[in-house]
Structure 1
Amino acid sequence: MLEVLPETHDNVLAVRVSKELSVPDFDRYRNMASDLMRKHKETHIYYEMADVNWVQPVAAIESALFDVIHAFDYGRIAMVGDKRWQEWGAKVASRVKKDGIRYFDPAHKEQAMKWVLKGE
């Protein structure tokens, strides 16, 4: 399930994914990110994974392709998660992002949001 957070504005997209990331969820995310990327030089992303237990394989593949195509359209990216595979995924995806991805433990999600919003 994809939830758009209130911090989404201007060139910032803030989302929380819970339970399962499905293809329709990814399509919604991709459309929002694409819209911001067309309007702004850089799009900053806050991506929080809360109790995610499954990512549909097609959604994972589509996400990877989107990241490669738009690697230079991203600005600051923070991923918040609590599972080892999420941290590993952030490290792998970081390689195709202009400025990489910073991974944060849920205890530091306020710091992650601050970094995305202000670069601090």
Structure 2
Amino acid sequence: MHELGVVFHIIDDLKTVADENNISKIEKVTIQLGEVSSVIPHFLTDCWKWAAPKHEFIADTELSIEPISAITQCEDCGKQYGTIAHGRICPFCGSEKTYLVQGNEFLIKEIEVSE
């Protein structure tokens, strides 16, 4: 389960932001998570619930996950389609010349603090 390592990276990034901005407490963190990012949302949440209380500045911080759908583009016909439903083969023309447009993201979108 690499989600614990991902959580440790999130915590490191949050600590850097908190230190640079004199923030003592973060209330909420919003993560954008691509559908094919290889990070499993409920494992990420479980790891967060275990790790966050060990750090005072995020002990009660809410973790919010915004999913990003995986979309693939076909180079032959130019159409886009849902990656999960159809994989690499274009459902419109049968081409294998496709590429992922979105859905592999893992981003800290927003950090909320109290004033």
TM, length-normalised to structure 1: 0.33
Which has the higher relative contact order, 1 or 2, with Cα contacts under 8 A spaced 6 or more apart?
2
